Amino acid sequence: MDKARRDMLKMVASVAGGVALTSMVGNALFARKVLSKTEEAGKVPELPWPYKKLDPVAVAERAYAAYWKGACCYGAFEGIVGELRQQVGFPYTVFPSELFIFGEGGVAATSNLCGALNGAAAAIFLLTGGLEGEKREKAFKIIQELFQFYEQEPLPNYRPKNPKYEIKPSVSKSSLCHVSVSRWCKATGFKAFSPQRKERCGWLTASVAKYTVELLNQYVEGTFKVVHPLPSEVQSCRSCHDKGGALENSRGMMDCNICHFTGKTKHP
């Protein structure tokens, strides 16, 4: 082989190498494209995250199934956010919904705030809220409507398609797990740790998730309005005890009489 031929062969080999490299560059550009997408993931968008109108029954069924996996708070949150993960994808794909198992049984079984309400409130804020005062207020109005619905309506009001038991509703008069469970036990005669009570909380999780999505759908349609205002008795108490009242020695939107003035105790 003469020198020119050897040079030519070297050049061809070099070009062939270049082709391989070009292919790798193609991969690199593809990787960069995916990267720019995941760079979004690295930043996750500001609140509110994109909401797409959802089917309340699909959400209720998903919430009921999720309840049996991770209890009430996870159930309500995942019922809504899991549906968005499926229909919208990112950024819901990078959110660890399992976090909301923390709210089980009124947060870690302490029977404080009803877990379904806690999870649904978080979802409402994720989808309508934000740091700015105006965004907060809008989200808070929807959450407050949900809480009053929960206190005032006979619940659960959604029957899952494949229930384990038939469940009768009761009016909780409170957003607390402790009161909600106790009043349902009193109304139905079932024990607090019976399979029926657990089923009731599954139906309740589905009912709360369903109403939450109805409210969110109304919100994006521009038709949301408060239909469960604070009871007049609570407003009366607040007129002295809450913000701007003569005493202003408390704050609250829960039903006052469920704890105060029980039995023989009267207002002083």
Instruction: Verify binding: residue 187, a second copy, rule CB under 8 A.
Output: no
Residue 250 binding a second copy, by CB under 8 A: yes
Contact code string over 156-185 relative to a second copy, x by CB under 8 A? -------------------xxxx--xx--x
Site string for a second copy, 200-239 (x = CB under 8 A): ----------------------------------------
Total number of residues that touch a second copy (CB under 8 A): 98
- CB-nearer residue toward a second copy: 8 or 220: 8
Note whether 240 binds a second copy by CB under 8 A: no
Q: Please report whether residue 35 would count as binding a second copy according to CB under 8 A.
A: yes
* Residue 70 in the binding site for a second copy (CB under 8 A): yes
Residue 196 in contact with a second copy, rule: CB under 8 A: no
- Give whichever of 153 and 242 is closer to a second copy, judged by the CB atom: 242
Considering only residues 126 through 155, tell me which ones interact with a second copy, judged by CB under 8 A: 126, 129-131, 136, 139-140, 143-144, 147
Binder of a second copy out of 52, 53, 68, 110 (CB under 8 A):
110
DSSP the chain: --HHHHHHHHHHHHHHHHHHHHHHHHHHHHHHHHHHHHHHHHH-PPSSPP-----HHHHHHHHHHHHHHHHHHHHHHHHHHHHHHHHT-TTGGG--GGGGGGGTTTTTTS--B-HHHHHHHHHHHHHH--SSHHHHHHHHHHHHHHHHHHHHS-B-----SS-SS----B--SSSBHHHHHHHHHHHH---TTSHHHHHHHHHHHHHHHHHHHHHHHHHHHT----SSPPPHHHHHHHHHHSTTSSS------S-GGGTTT-TT----
